[in-house]
């Protein structure tokens, strides 16, 4: 399956290589570099490349390319998903997934990769199992280890690896038993010029931070589980309970994890929290343009819209922007042509407005397309779909845990066409 892995930074340097079978020369990456050159954006590099003897499957994460070399037929998603899992693991271990952090922890990274794949086939990918085998770095431990000669590597097989719940460590103990759940919903929407919604979907995720001793068995139920159109679960969730009762029943992993994600598709009605009135015009004569944007609340369910931000990728011809914002401030980056208007809280009484003129390059024909507006926003304590957790019960342990649920609505890929 996965033959080798190369980590490549944005400059095109290979800073780590790992082979699970015979060594493959790093010259195989040249094909990748070629493709990388061709694609203007790193995002546009085809994830799957064919070379005379190998196939290259890569992902782009955190300005790094994870490039795997494949020799025989394998489902491409298998590899892609695995590479993302590797990146997630690094993130989990070191707090971020960047070149410097990987280089600083080269040995741990190598040990991890060694454990995650055997002969190219995934062996242990659960973060909890890995953490028992290879302990994440921390300063105290490394000091102690240097003094005592202790090691960062577990000596016994993690129990999780053998049990049916590989995601949970055994013998977890906390002084304060707490379980927090963050319900985050992102609205993906396309709104057209006239303000009608072309498509709108909600992408929800329940992130959990569970710090409970022992082997708790949790059951989470919703006020309105029917809302959930399409769901995917962490492996810990008992699917049958969900199918039959629409409750989430699970033995949670220890620490942070994504309990479930759900999707409320465009077939349902999705509330759009803000409306945008905009006019962006470019004039042939005088080589200038005018911009006027107003944002107002639409369906906010009585909550305040915060962290409102509008990002516009201007056409190349726009040289500069001379605007006034009634609220917040704006920046225009002439090189990337990004106009960012950071508004902050949306005040329904006094709607924020940004207007002014754009200076254009002379002699260049006017862009015929108006740039679309990307909107960021956040609404606290609201799940825009109306999803509500009704209760969380714990079985299997005696103590009383502290439970908390937080709701947040954000704009996902929220785009207003102009």
Partner 1 sequence: MTAMQKLLQLPVNAVNMVKTVQSQVQGQEEDKSPVLTPDSGQQAWYSALQPDELRHLRSGGTGGGGGGGGGGGDQEERAPLEEGGGSGGGSSFQTQPLRHDDLKEMLDSNKDSLKLEAMKRIVAMIARGKNASDLFPAVVKNVACKNIEVKKLVYVYLVRYAEEQQDLALLSISTFQRGLKDPNQLIRASALRVLSSIRVTIIVPIMMLAIKEAASDMSPYVRKTAAHAIPKLYSLDPEQKDQLIEVIEKLLADKTTLVAGSVVMAFEEVCPERIDLIHKNYRKLCNLLIDVEEWGQVVIINMLTRYARTQFLNPNINESLLEEGGSGDKTFYGSDEDEDEDEEEKEKKAEVAAMAKRKPYVMDPDHRLLLRNTKPLLQSRNAAVVMAVAQLYFHLAPKAEVGVIAKALVRLLRSHSEVQYVVLQNVATMSIKRRGMFEPYLKSFYIRSTDPTQIKVLKLEVLTNLANETNISTILREFQTYIKSMDKDFVAATIQAIGRCATNISEVRDTCLNGLVQLLSNRDELVVAESVVVIKKLLQMQPEKHSDIIKHMAKLTDNIQVPMARASILWLIGEYCEHVPKIAPDVLRKMAKSFTNEEDIVKLQIINLAAKLYLTNSKQTKLLTQYVLNLAKYDQNYDIRDRARFIRQLIVPTEKSGALSKYAKKLFLALKPAPVLESPFKDRDHFQLGSLSHLLNAKAGGYQELPDWPEAAPDPSVRNVEVPEWTKCSSREKRKEKKVEKPFYTDSEGESGPTESADSESDSATGSESSSGSEESGSGSESEESKEASESEEEEEEEEEEEKKKKKKDLKKPVQESESEQSSEEEERKHQRKSKPRKSESESESDEDEESESESSQSESEDSESEAEVKKKKKPAESKPPPKPVKKESKKEKKEMSLLDLDDFEPAPSPQVTPVNTFLSNSLVTDLEGLSLSDSVLSPATIAPSSTLKSYELLHRITGEGLSVEYCFSRQPFSPDANMVAVQMQFTNNASSDTKNLHIEDVKLQSGMRVKEFPEIELLPAGETATAVMGIDFCDSTQAANFQLCTHTRKFFVSIQPPVGELMRPVFLTENEFKKEQGQLMGMNEITEKLTLDVKCRNEHTIVQRVTTAANLSRVPCGSDKECSPPLPPPDHPVHRFAGRTVTSGSLVLVTVATKEEGAAQLTVNCEKMVIGTMLVKDILQALTQ
Alpha carbons within 13 angstroms on the beta-carbon side of residue 327 total 20
Query: Binding segment for partner 1 among 122-130, 276-284, 300-308, 326-334 (CB under 8 A)?
Result: 122-130
- Contact between 91 and partner 1 by CB under 8 A: the answer reads no
10/84 with CB nearer partner 1 = 84
- Contact between 265 and partner 1 by CB under 8 A: the answer reads yes
Tell me how far, at minimum, the Cβ of 231 lies from partner 1, in Å.
Answer: 6
178 CA to centre of own chain: 25
> At a CB cut-off of 8 Å and minimum separation 6, what does 117 contact?
2, 20, 82, 123
Question: Which string of x and - marks every residue 188-227 that binds partner 1 (by CB under 8 A)?
Answer: x-x-x-----xx-x-x-----------------x-xxxx-
50-79: which residues touch partner 1 (CB under 8 A)? 50, 55, 58-61, 70-78
Structure token pair of residue 326: 């009634």
Q: Which H/E stretch holds residue 160?
A: helix 159-162
- Contact between 284 and partner 1 by CB under 8 A: the answer reads no
- Contact between 92 and partner 1 by CB under 8 A: the answer reads no
Tell me how far, at minimum, the Cβ of 72 lies from partner 1, in Å.
Answer: 3
Query: Residue from 229, 292, 306, 376 that binds partner 1 (CB under 8 A)?
Result: 229
- Single out the residue of 340, 338, 345 nearest to residue 330, CA to CA: 340
13/175 with CB nearer partner 1 = 13
312/323 with CB nearer partner 1 = 312
- Dist CA 301 CA 4 (whole Å): 51
- Contact between 235 and partner 1 by CB under 8 A: the answer reads yes
What are the distances in angstroms from CA 37 to CA 7, 12, 46, 54, 116?
17, 10, 12, 19, 31
336-395: which residues touch partner 1 (CB under 8 A)? 365, 367-372, 374, 390
> At a CB cut-off of 8 Å and minimum separation 6, what does 287 contact?
359, 360, 361, 362, 363
Structure token pair of residue 28: 């195989």
- Contact between 103 and partner 1 by CB under 8 A: the answer reads yes
Query: Residue from 231, 338, 340, 408 that binds partner 1 (CB under 8 A)?
Result: 231
| Pairing between β-strand 121-122 and β-strand 117-118 as defined by DSSP bridges | antiparallel
On whether the CB atoms of residues 195 and 276 are closer than 8 A, the answer is yes
137-156: which residues touch partner 1 (CB under 8 A)? 146, 149, 151-156
Tell me how far, at minimum, the Cβ of 305 lies from partner 1, in Å.
Answer: 21
Query: Residue from 34, 38, 46, 277 that binds partner 1 (CB under 8 A)?
Result: 46
First to last CA, the chain: 47
- Contact between 81 and partner 1 by CB under 8 A: the answer reads yes
Query: Residue from 164, 194, 335, 349 that binds partner 1 (CB under 8 A)?
Result: 164
Tell me how far, at minimum, the Cβ of 50 lies from partner 1, in Å.
Answer: 6
- Contact between 165 and partner 1 by CB under 8 A: the answer reads yes
Q: Would the CA dihedral through 322, 323, 324, 327 be positive or negative?
A: negative
On whether the CB atoms of residues 203 and 368 are closer than 8 A, the answer is no
- Contact between 261 and partner 1 by CB under 8 A: the answer reads yes
């Amino acid at each position: 399956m996965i033959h080798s892995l190369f980590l490549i930074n944005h400059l095109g340097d290979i800073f780590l290589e790992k082979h699970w079978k015979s060594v493959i020369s790093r010259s195989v990456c040249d094909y990748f570099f070629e493709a990388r050159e061709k694609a203007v954006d790193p995002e546009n590099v085809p994830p799957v490349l064919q070379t005379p003897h190998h196939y290259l499957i890569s992902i782009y994460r955190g300005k790094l390319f994870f490039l795997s070399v494949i020799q025989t037929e394998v489902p491409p998603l298998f590899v892609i998903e695995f590479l993302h899992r590797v990146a997630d693991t690094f993130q989990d271990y070191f707090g971020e997934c960047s070149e410097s952090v990987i280089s600083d922890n080269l040995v741990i990274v190598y040990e991890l990769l060694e454990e995650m794949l055997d002969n190219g086939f995934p062996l242990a990918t659960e973060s909890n199992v890995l953490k028992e085998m290879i302990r994440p770095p921390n300063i105290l431990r490394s000091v102690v280890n240097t003094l005592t000669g202790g090691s960062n590597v577990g000596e016994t097989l993690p129990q999780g690896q053998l049990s049916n719940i590989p995601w949970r460590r055994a013998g977890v103990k906390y002084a304060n038993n707490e379980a927090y759940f963050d319900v985050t919903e992102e609205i993906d929407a396309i709104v057209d010029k006239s303000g009608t919604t072309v498509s709108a979907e909600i992408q929800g995720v329940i992130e959990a931070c569970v710090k409970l001793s022992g082997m708790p068995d949790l059951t989470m139920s919703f006020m309105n589980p029917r809302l959930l159109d399409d769901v995917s679960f962490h492996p810990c969730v008992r699917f049958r309970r969900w199918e039959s009762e629409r409750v989430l029943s699970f033995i949670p992993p220890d620490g942070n994890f994504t309990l479930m994600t759900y999707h409320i598709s465009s077939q349902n009605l999705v509330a759009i929290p803000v409306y945008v009135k905009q006019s962006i015009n470019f004039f042939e004569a005088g080589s200038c343009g005018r911009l006027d944007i107003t944002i107002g609340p639409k369906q906010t369910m009585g909550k305040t819209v915060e962290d409102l931000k509008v990002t516009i990728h201007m056409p190349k011809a726009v040289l500069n922007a001379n605007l006034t914002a009634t609220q917040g401030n704006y920046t225009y980056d002439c090189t990337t042509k990004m106009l960012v208007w950071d508004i902050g809280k949306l005040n329904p009484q006094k709607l924020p407005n940004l207007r002014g003129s754009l200076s254009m390059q002379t002699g260049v024909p006017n862009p015929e397309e108006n740039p679309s507006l990307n909107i960021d926003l956040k609404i606290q304590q609201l799940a825009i779909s109306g999803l509500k957790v009704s209760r969380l019960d714990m079985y299997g342990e005696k103590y009383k845990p502290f439970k908390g649920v937080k709701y947040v609505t954000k704009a996902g890929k929220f785009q207003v066409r102009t």
